[in-house]
Structures are given as structure tokens and as C-alpha cells.
């Protein structure tokens, strides 16, 4: 049957009312006018249900009317860093969950939570069951036992970093956002001064949560234990330390503006850190120029009367400290916990984004009881059979195609390294999906032969005693969390353990 005849038949059937079977048949017409029955539909497996996973699935489903996508996730709940990484006072960023939910509810998409790829099922078994496998891991699932690589926290590499009172930003964010593996953290917030190492958006998120009035936080989806701890917190001063200067700061202008306008706080900057910055403004690209101008205004300009009055009344302070690198965490007299941090004073070699920080012999000690390291993550390989670039800490790929591994693709930080925001992830995920579709159209992927997909994997999981959580199971969890939140005036009150999640999902 020609393509035009198929279209005519479809229009006629729309008028008469189509049965479900005919509807599915018409949905199976490809761009080339060929009918693909479900038994021969391309089956794609996505590992990881964060933004990278869902954006990849979304693009595949929209672009091809015959593709079927299954998403596998280690935890019983979906959405990755949108749930566990986005700051609780940024609900607008979490609205992307609505789009992901539409994708998960699509007739050609299935979600399988509570499945630990690498432990419950191997990547090799997934490759046998699917035409293509796309690896998409969220940065906050650092303990995932995947047969490719895991993300580990980049340590400071200085004496004393194992003292009580030193935490990674990943763990601290996971604690207040409800990541099950971080719920035993119980950070000590009894000190007056906290030092955050790193000046990216995550560092500013942590600073803002530490200093936000509790009346603001109690209206968010921050966890109840974290809210209680922050209500009793004695932290009144937060220093955000970076190894380079104001023109290399890694945060965005939105995050900086939120810090500047945070109620009951005032900025505390070192004027000398901004020497020569005004003269360099004219040569900066526009986004960097706007960010630097806001920094200069905050640090150097005399505020207006209303702003000055607001600052005078503030009970908490925050500030950037530039040109500083940690060299030692200082212990209290009993050598039990953190009492301060020693910072080396740096000088810059070069200029602009490529400027390098060089240590000098000058150091300064800062008294503090809390040190939070937000200096990044890197992936490490845990399966020698998968290609891995140790220098770039990524799976080597060409537009998402894993090198020397036909049918294997990657997206998110495995593809690019730990960089960018959710919008960045969306674009690189769409690129990976396009690469996969090009390979289907060109014949690089042999989609003419049927693959069993989830049918085989579900059987394997059942044999191994693993019961996946479906998206409808997740919606039970979602409903319980929302109802618990409504009782206290919050968007939701998250379940904090895998056991609780599974109990609700299987009720």
C-alpha cells in the first residue's frame, strides 16, 4: 500500500471512528511510509531517569512513531537531580517534572524503578534485549553500581579533610533534598561560621539554604529533619571561597542576585579582591560582564538608604573570598572536629576564563566549625570492557555514540563531564537521540530483527527476586508525599528511605 493510500485510509477511519488496533497500526507508519508492527519496533533502553534520561526518551518518542523506550532507575522514584539536586526554594525549576511525567505516561514509554543496573541486570543483558542502550546517570547517584562508571566526589586532597564538620556539597544537598543514601548525615550546625569551597551554583544553593529565614524554607519541599536542624542552626556567617578571581566566578547571575537579595543577610566582601576589575569590564563577553557588574555593585558601591537600612538590620552575613585555595583543615584542641581552615593565597597567571591560580607562600587561617566542599565531581570506570577517558573523566563518544561499542550511547555527564545546567542537559540529550535515530535510518543499528526488550528483562528480574516499581507505583508515592506536605503547608513531604517508598508503592 502506498504512503498516500495509508494517509487516505487513516483520514477515513478518523471519520468513522477507529478501533485501538487500527490506531496503533497508523501510529506505526514511519516517515518513509513503511508499517512497523510492534514485534519489529525499535526498542531502546535508557539507564537513569534524571533529566538526561527523560529528555532522551522524550525526543525519541516524539521523533519516531514506532520506537519503544524503557527507562531503568536504581531508586523507586524518578527524576534524578530534579528531585534530589535542585534547591528546595527553586520550585520553578522543578516544573520540568510535568513534561517528564507526560513522557513516562506515553503508551510507548515504560518506567522500571528499583532496578540497579550492574547488580540486578547487566549492561550486556540489556544490549541483548534492546536494539540500543543509552547510559544517562544523574550526578547525585554517586553510589550506583553501573557497569560503566560512577561519579565520585573530588576530595580536597588536604590534611584534616576527614575531620568531623567537613562535608561534601553532594552529601549536604542530598541530605536536605531527601536522597536516601544521605539521610544519616546529620550535620553539626552549632558553629557560627561556615566555609564553602567552590563558587558555582551548588555552592550558592548551599549558602542560601544555610542562611535563609526558616519561614521561607518551611514553604518548600525541604525534608522535615533538615528543616528542624536548620531551625536550630547557629550558622550566621558563610564564606564562599574560590581559587581564582571575580572574573572567573562560576555561578550564574540569577544565583548571585538571589544571594544579594536574601532577607536578613548582608554581603561581606574584600575590596582588594576587585582591584583592576573595573578596567577589564569592557573586554568581557556580555553574560560575564553582567555578572561581574553585579559583583562590583555588591562589593564596592555605597547602597541606597533603603538597602543600607536593610543591611543594618541583617543578622547574618555572606561573602566571596577570591584567590584562595584550601591547604589544611584545622582541628580543635582535642583533634576531634573542625575548628578552622588554612587557605593559601593565590596569584593568577593569564586572564579571562583561562586564567590559572598559582599558590604563593602566603596563607591565612579562617576560624569555622563547618566546611563544605563544592569543588566538583568526576566519573571513574568500574568496568574495563567499556571505553573510558580517564583524563576527561567521560565515556569517549561522538555525538553520544560510545566509541568501539555499537548500539551503546551516552548522554548527560557521562557524555560531557560535570558541566552545565538542566537546559544544557536537554540539548546534549536531544543530540544523542538524533544520533541514535540517524543510526536507525542508516542501518548502523539493525532494527529489522525483533528484540524482546522488557519482556526478557522482567523475566530475568523476577527470577532474581527483583520487583520493579512502575510509573503508576511511583504515582502512589507522589500522592502520599503531596498529601503529607499539604498537612504542613508544603508542596510535598518526601519519603526518605527506600523501604518507605517500596511499602507505599506496593500498597
Residue in 213, 153, 161, 148 with CA at minimum distance from that of residue 182: 153
Please report the pLDDT score of residue 386 as a whole number. Answer: 65
Residue numbers of the chain with a pLDDT score lower than 70? 1-39, 137-155, 376-386, 416, 418-420
136 bridge partner residues:
411
The DSSP H or E segment spanning 471 is helix 471-486
Residue in 79, 75, 140 with CA at minimum distance from that of residue 501: 75
First to last CA, the chain: 49
Question: Three cell numbers at 299?
Answer: 562589593
Which of the following CATH numbers is that of domain 155-375: 3.40.1350.10, 3.40.50.10420, 3.40.50.150, 3.50.50.60?
A: 3.50.50.60
- Which DSSP symbol is given to 494? -
d(CA 104, CA 245): 44
Please report the pLDDT score of residue 238 as a whole number. Answer: 98
Instruction: Specify whether the CB–CB gap between 7 and 415 falls below 8 A.
Output: no
Spell out the domain ranges in the chain: 1-35, 37-150+378-469, 155-375, 473-507
Residue in 209, 169, 181, 222 with CA at minimum distance from that of residue 418: 169
Question: Three cell numbers at 112?
Answer: 522500571
Distances in whole angstroms, Cα of residue 161 to Cα of each of 157, 165, 328, 379, 460: 7, 9, 8, 21, 43
Question: Three cell numbers at 396?
Answer: 569517549
pTM of this structure? 0.86
The DSSP H or E segment spanning 150 is strand 149-153
Residue whose cell numbers read 576527561 = 392
Please report the pLDDT score of residue 22 as a whole number. Answer: 29
d(CA 47, CA 148): 11
Residue in 431, 392, 436, 423 with CA at minimum distance from that of residue 149: 392
Which of the following CATH numbers is that of domain 37-150+378-469: 3.40.50.720, 3.40.640.10, 1.10.3720.10, 3.30.43.10?
A: 3.40.50.720
Please report the pLDDT score of residue 384 as a whole number. Answer: 57
Question: Three cell numbers at 385?
Answer: 570492557
d(CA 272, CA 55): 45
Amino acid at each position: 500500500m502506498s504512503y498516500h493510500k495509508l494517509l487516505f485510509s487513516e483520514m477515513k477511519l478518523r471519520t468513522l471512528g477507529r478501533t485501538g488496533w487500527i490506531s496503533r497500526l497508523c501510529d506505526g507508519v514511519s516517515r518513509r511510509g513503511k508499517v512497523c508492527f510492534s514485534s519489529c519496533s525499535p526498542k531502546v533502553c535508557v539507564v537513569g531517569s534524571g533529566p538526561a534520561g527523560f529528555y532522551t526518551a522524550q525526543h525519541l518518542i516524539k521523533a519516531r512513531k514506532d520506537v519503544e523506550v524503557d527507562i531503568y532507575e536504581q531508586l523507586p522514584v524518578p527524576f534524578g537531580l530534579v528531585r534530589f539536586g535542585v534547591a528546595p526554594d527553586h520550585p520553578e525549576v522543578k516544573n520540568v517534572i510535568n513534561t517528564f511525567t507526560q513522557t513516562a505516561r506515553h503508551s510507548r514509554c515504560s518506567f522500571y524503578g528499583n532496578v540497579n543496573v550492574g547488580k540486578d541486570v547487566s549492561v550486556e543483558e540489556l544490549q541483548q534485549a534492546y536494539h540500543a542502550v543509552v547510559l544517562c546517570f544523574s550526578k547525585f547517584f554517586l553510589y550506583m553500581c553501573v557497569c560503566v562508571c560512577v561519579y565520585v566526589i573530588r576530595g580536597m586532597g588536604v590534611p584534616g579533610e576527614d575531620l568531623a564538620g567537613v562535608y561534601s556539597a553532594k552529601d549536604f544537598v542530598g541530605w536536605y533534598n531527601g536522597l536516601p543514601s544521605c539521610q544519616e548525615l546529620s550535620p553539626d550546625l552549632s558553629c557560627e561560621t561556615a566555609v564553602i569551597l567552590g563558587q558555582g551554583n551548588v555552592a550558592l544553593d548551599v549558602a542560601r539554604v544555610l542562611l535563609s529565614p526558616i519561614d521561607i524554607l518551611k514553604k518548600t519541599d525541604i525534608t522535615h529533619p533538615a528543616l528542624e536542624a536548620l531551625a536550630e542552626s547557629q550558622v550566621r556567617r558563610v564564606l564562599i571561597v574560590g581559587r581564582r578571581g571575580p572574573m572567573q566566578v562560576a555561578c550564574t547571575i540569577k544565583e548571585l542576585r538571589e544571594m544579594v537579595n536574601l532577607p536578613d543577610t548582608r554581603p561581606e566582601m574584600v575590596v582588594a579582591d576587585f582591584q583592576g576589575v573595573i578596567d577589564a569590564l569592557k573586554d568581557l563577553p556580555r553574560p560575564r560582564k553582567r555578572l561581574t557588574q553585579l559583583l562590583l555593585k555588591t562589593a564596592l558601591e555605597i547602597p541606597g538608604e533603603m538597602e543600607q537600612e536593610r543591611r543594618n538590620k541583617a543578622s547574618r552575613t555572606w561573602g566571596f573570598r577570591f584567590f584562595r585555595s584550601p591547604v589544611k583543615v584545622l582541628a580543635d584542641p582535642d583533634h576531634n572536629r573542625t575548628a578552622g581552615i588554612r587557605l593559601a593565597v593565590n596569584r593568577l597567571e593569564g586572564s579571562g576564563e583561562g586564567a590559572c591560580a598559582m599558590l604563593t607562600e602566603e596563607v591565612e587561617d579562617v576560624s569555622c566549625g563547618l566546611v563544605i566542599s563544592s569543588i566538583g565531581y568526576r566519573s571513574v570506570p568500574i568496568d574495563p570492557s567499556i571505553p573510558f577517558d580517564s583524563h576527561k573523566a567521560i565515556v569517549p563518544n561522538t555525538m553520544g555514540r560510545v566509541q568501539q561499542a555499537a548500539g551503546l550511547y551516552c548522554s548527560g555527564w557521562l557524555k560531557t563531564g560535570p558541566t552545565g545546567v538542566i537546559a544544557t542537559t536537554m540539548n546534549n540529550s536531544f543530540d544523542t537521540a538524533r544520533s541514535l535515530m540517524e543510526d536507525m535510518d542508516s542501518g548502523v543499528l539493525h532494527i529489522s530483527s525483533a528484540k524482546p526488550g522488557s519482556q526478557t528483562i522482567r523475566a530475568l528480574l523476577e527470577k532474581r527476586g527483583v520487583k520493579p516499581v512502575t510509573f503508576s507505583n511511583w504515582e502512589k508515592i507522589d500522592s502520599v508525599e503531596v498529601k503529607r506536605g499539604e498537612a504542613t503547608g508544603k508542596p510535598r513531604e518526601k519519603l526518605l528511605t527506600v523501604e518507605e517508598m517500596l511499602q507505599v508503592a506496593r500498597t
